[in-house]
Chain A
Amino acid sequence: MIALRVLVVLILHVAILAGMIYTHIERLKAGRELTMTVEPVDPRDFFRGDYVTLTYAISRLTPKENETLEDWQRGDDVFVTLSQSEEGAWIADHLSRELLKNGDAPVIKGRVSWVQRNWTTATEAWAGEFEPNFARPLEVKPDRLCPGGCVEHIAVTYGIESYFVPQGEGRKIEELRNDGKVSIVIAVGDDGAAAIKALLIDGKRVYEETFL
């Protein structure tokens, strides 16, 4: 009986892993293809062992005119509606907390990984910190210190930021990427989830994701 139960666990674990692969492959098949330009990043930061970090124009979102990003917090799920720039690159059009379909515009789901605030205006409150009887500011009120909001930008991750490469090939791809020769084809499902579908160098597909 207990041996039978172990087999049930085996089936469950295999089903979870197989389900992951199936969902991913289905997303690649059915998802809408978007070609994303990869942005160069500081070489000292991006190379971590055997994968290349990919940063896109939609990875760092800054507030537009008459817009504030104050409400976003680290860990929030975010749906980013995309639009194409004049150069043809996909950029963020607007953000929402729910999946909102706006015509044919693709929507990609991400998670806020960092909120960059500018606290420079708060330093005034700390003037005389080392003086006797200094009263420590208890709470910084962003609305008072930064009219219009203190958030300079938010970083968003979409699950398409890592491209695993064979040992030793990372540098080569990174150099090409920093020369602006690398782009990534992603597949975005109806639910906004995205997956890497292909790697392009100089516009040619050098890697295509398949089941096997």
Chain B
Amino acid sequence: MRPPFYVRQLKRDLDDWIARGWVPATSRDMILGSVGGLGGRTSLAGVIATLGAVLLAAGAISFVAANWEAMSKILRLGVIFGALTLTYLLAALLFLRQMPHFAQAAILFGIAMFGAGLMLIGQTYHMNAGWPDGLMIWTLAAFAAAVIVPSRTALAAAIILTGVWTYFWLEDYGFARIHWAGLLALVAAFALAGWRQASAEVHLAFVALIVWLIWHAGILSDALGWSSAEVTAIYGLGALMVFLAGRVSNDTGFAYAHDLQRYGIAVTGIAVFCLHFTDLDGDTLISENWLVIAISAVLLAVLLARMAGARRQLLTSEEFAITGIATGIAAYPILLSHMGGALDLEMIYIVFAGLFIVWVIVHATRVEDRVIANLAFLTFGAWVIYLYTDVFQVLLDQATFFLIGGVMLVGLAILLEFVRRRVTAAEGG
């Protein structure tokens, strides 16, 4: 799927070309479909109806919960099954009346009613199945609705429920085991969202995957005997490879190549940032197999960069930059284990982080990715301020410190505006 601004521009151009008679009107949907501009569209009515369904569900559950004890068992079952049946019948009717957005909202309400039914049946029959088991059933039921109907709201609910299920599962096991089922569910969510061209759900699944990885960082560290720096580095290297996979598939028509690049580079950035704090737990010793893993990961990154380069998706200079970034990330745990929190390592880290941010800015500007470019500029600004306050505050007197700082910030703002204009002009917007 191409970036939204590109799809918007293409739609405008297509309408213009059709009006001029350059392009047959029958080709419009085919062309838009090839860039992911059809399907998966979110309407304002749909969003509002979905929010309404969420509020209605919360209200209905609260009302039932407040009056539950006053009801006989048969009435309770009647309420649970009646509400579920009425909701899905309403959804079916709305589909028949060609009101898909409202029907989707009704499906979401139905999934909420199913979850409420699970809890209320448990309460009625004094069943005390653990939270994770109940959430697993709820998640699977939402996935079933997402596949069978098919329903985007059900898919969104399934992704969110997967996150909640994973959290309670991990808590049940004391954050000591990997929740593979949650990861499998997210892979299924990616496949479903990709198949349905549901871009909002793809983003939701990416966010859920990132959260899943964050929750599992400590578990991986314990399970593999790795230090925090090693786990963070492997996350960073993995994300860099996701970015490179996005570049490699950029010209293949793969719908989510652009998203892979954005999330890949963003998570690589987060990992680079987090590397700085990995010595806080005091465990900086590298594991026996780290060198092999680190070299393998760097080689794989270099190979992917070469593939992207061969497809003209990366410049040769960028291939070298990728090699440097991968090597830097992989080497950090080794440097940390040998140098500890020494000032030399601090300087090496600052220079590395700065070079990484500069490369992201250069790359994002070249490929005209406004979101990543702006994000990188923001990070660059924060990095400069951090660097300035951390290093120069002790060297300069107060007045000079503020004066130079002010000049630097104004200069940074001018530079940012200059690049912003260049990117905007390149995009034609």
Contact = CB atoms under 8 A, between A and B. Distances in A.
B202 interface: no
Contact of B128 (A2, A3, A10, A161): A161
B47 interface: no
A12 B95 contact: no
Given A6-B149, A14-B81, A50 B69 contact: yes
A105 interface: no
B222 to A, nearest CB: 11
A24 B127 contact: yes
Nearest to B125: A24
22 contacts: A3-B93, A3-B95, A6-B95, A6-B103, A7-B89, A9-B107, A9-B145, A9-B148, A14-B84, A16-B114, A21-B77, A21-B121, A24-B127, A50-B69, A74-B172, A75-B177, A111-B172, A138-B285, A157-B128, A160-B128, A210-B73, A211-B73
Nearest to B150: A5
B91 interface: yes
Given A3-B95, A10-B84, A212-B74, A163 B121 contact: no
B85 interface: yes
5 residue pairs, one from A and one from B, having the closest CB atoms: A75-B173, A10-B88, A3-B92, A74-B174, A166-B69
Interface of A: 2-10, 12-14, 16-18, 20-21, 24, 50-51, 73-75, 111, 113, 136, 138, 157, 159-164, 166-167, 195-196, 209-212
A2 B125 CA distance: 35
A87 B96 CA distance: 66
Contacts of A24: 125, 127
A75 B88 contact: no
A132 to B, nearest CB: 15
Given A75-B173, A166-B69, A196 B80 contact: no
B177 A16 contact: no
Given A17-B121, A75-B177, A167 B69 contact: yes
Interface string B365-390: 00000000000000000000000000
Nearest to A11: B88
Contacts of A211: 73
- Interface size for chain B: under 10, 10 to 19, 20 to 34, or 35 or more residues? 35 or more
B144 A212 contact: no
Contacts of A159: 127-130
Interface string B114-147: 1001100101111111100000010001001100
Contacts of B93: 3
Given A73-B176, A212-B73, A212-B74, A16 B141 contact: yes
B163 interface: no
Given A17-B81, A17-B118, A50-B69, A164 B123 contact: yes
B131 to A, nearest CB: 11
Contacts of A209: 125-126
A20 B95 contact: no
Interface string B94-114: 011000000100010010001
B114 to A, nearest CB: 5
